[in-house]
Amino acid sequence: MGVRLLALARRTRRLPELAMGLNCLLAGSVGYALLLAAESLRLLPAPQDGWASFAGVASISAGAGCVALFSRRVFRRRAPGAGAALVLLAGWLALGVWGSWALHVERAGDGPGVWLGRWAPNLGLLAAYAWAGFEPFVYRVRLRRRARLGIGDPLVANRLLLWSGGTLAIASITLLHLAAQLAGHYELPPALVGPVSLLALAAAATQWLAFLPPRWYLRRLERAAPAPRVP
């Protein structure tokens, strides 16, 4: 999906497609795979595991920044508060990447870098994906009301619902990571790999249907769309 969105962005020259394509590749493919291999499955020896963890955190953080950029550009393009929130979130994610270097590559034992490396990435991801899930849900409620009056598009409303559900699934993954950290596990325990992977697959499936819906799915939605109410 990331490759197809980047190909679409190349044709349209538009930022939203580019941001989501980068998010899918950086966070969904590269970052998650590196963290899974280095921390949960222990497939890499030292010091390669530290470098892989750092690269994974950097990739996922960059992907979260892209999804926040998408939310701001699509839903809050003219809101100055949203622009400030995007800048603050990007700065916080950058601090998390810096902390990840101290934690995973330098293998420091304490200090502000270690604290940021442990807590800043997941807190930043939670903020980015919660925002990305909230905005389309609110807009979908508005479109749903308009569709009942015959002035809205039920297909767009459905795609917004799918996008909201997918991003909230990723936010749930981040909450699981934070819960594990509060329990003293700073790396994802193997017992949580299954639930996290299921949530990641659910997020991938809903985002695929939202951004690149197949024709059979669109036909099904068209048949199920309620008839507009005539006042």
Rounded to two decimals, the pTM is: 0.88
Handedness of CA 204, 210, 215, 218 (dihedral sign): positive
100 contacts: CB under 8 Å, gap ≥ 6: 53, 54, 57, 58, 116, 117, 121
Tens-digit pLDDT profile for residues 107-165: 998 999 999 999 999 999 999 999 999 999 998 888 877 766 666 677 888 889 999 99
- Tens of pLDDT, residues 134-150: 999 998 888 877 766 66
* Distance from C-alpha of 53 to C-alpha of 51, rounded to nearest angstrom: 5
Per-residue pLDDT, 152: 66
- Reading the block at residue 122, the tokens are 């997941």
> What is the predicted pLDDT for the residue at 111?
93
* pLDDT at residue 188, rounded to an integer: 74
Residue 191's pLDDT is what? 83
Residue 230 reports pLDDT greater than 70: no
Q: Name, in order, each residue with C-beta under 8 angstroms of 161's C-beta and a sequence gap of 6 or more.
A: 136, 137, 140
Residue range 24-75, pLDDT digits in tens? 999 988 998 998 899 878 899 999 999 999 999 999 999 999 999 999 999 9
Euclidean distance between CA atoms 223 and 219, whole angstroms: 6
Q: Worst-scoring range by mean pLDDT, 4-18, 69-83, 211-225?
A: 211-225
Q: What average pLDDT does the segment 79-102 reach?
A: 96
pLDDT at position 211 is 87
Mean pLDDT (the chain) is: 90
pLDDT given at position 227: 57
- Residue 22 Ramachandran class (φ > 0 left, ψ -120 to 50 alpha, else beta): alpha
For residue 171, give Cα distances in angstroms to 18, 49, 98, 131, 213: 21, 25, 22, 9, 23
Is 60 exceeded by the pLDDT of residue 228?
no
| Predicted local confidence at residue 222, as pLDDT | 78
